[in-house]
Amino acid sequence: MAQLPGLIKGLGVTFRTMLEPNVTVQYPHEKESPAPRARGVIALKEENCTVCMLCARECPDWCIYIEGHKYLAPPRREGGKPRQRNALDRFDIDYSLCMYCGICVEVCPFEALFWSPEFEYSEPRIADLLHDKTMLGHWMTTVPDFEQYEAGSEAKVKKVPR
């Protein structure tokens, strides 16, 4: 008999929950926008990449594939020595392996990698999850601007190269 108030209270909880509107979002029909800095997909600014391979080496899953070659760029001043430059041939991220840790984005010294909140890039074939540099460059258009830091912060707000 001592349990009776609790039992009735329990019935009340389920009944109230039944009447309350629930928070389910009918995903394919209505979409919730993810948080602006959500880790959806990694975008590549190809011009900034120097083929330093830091991201590929730091990647815990080894899901970044980079190939490049050296070439001689014309000298800055007349009579100078031609400069040696690295050109990016291949930059692939295999999203079937990626675990979205973001180390590559953190580690990139030349601001070539950015997070984008886009997440709808599932594929029927697992091989199609390998995004090449064209695809990764396309994600660059979806990268949002960095948000302002809190008031009083002296850190410089980073800019997204457009």
Partner 1 sequence: MSGLVLGLDLAYWQTTLIKVLVAAIMAPTAALILGYVFLLKIMSFMQSRLGPMESGPYGLLQLIGDGVKFIQKEDIFPEKADKWVFATAPIVVLMSTLLIYVFVPVGPDLVGEPVETGIFMTLAVSSISVIGILMAGWASVNKYSLIGALRAAGQLIAYELPMVLAVVGVVIQAGTLNMQGIVAAQANGEIFGWGGIGNPFIITQFVGFLIFLVAVQAELTQTPFDMPVAESEIMGGYQVEYSGFRFLSFFLAEFATAFAFAGIAAVLFLGGWWIPGFDFDSNTLNYLGPIVMFVKIMVVSFLVFWIRFTYPRFREDQLQTFAWKVLIPLALANIAVTGVLKVVF
For partner 1, the closer CB: 11 or 35: 11
Smallest distance from partner 1 to CB 118, Å: 24
Host H or E run for residue 88: strand 83-94
Smallest distance from partner 1 to CB 112, Å: 41
Length of the chain measured in residues: 162
Give the list of residues 6+ apart from residue 21 with CB closer than 8 angstroms, or none: none
Residues that bind partner 1 (CB under 8 A): 7, 10-11, 13-15, 17-18, 20, 22-24, 26
Smallest distance from partner 1 to CB 28, Å: 9
For partner 1, the closer CB: 22 or 148: 22
For partner 1, the closer CB: 26 or 122: 26
Smallest distance from partner 1 to CB 5, Å: 14
Give 43's DSSP letter: E
Burial of 47 (0-12, 13-18, 19+ CB in 10 A): exposed
Smallest distance from partner 1 to CB 138, Å: 31
Which strands make up the sheet holding 83-94, listed edge to edge? 64-73, 83-94, 130-131
For partner 1, the closer CB: 11 or 127: 11
CB 113 within 8 A of CB 105: yes
For partner 1, the closer CB: 11 or 151: 11
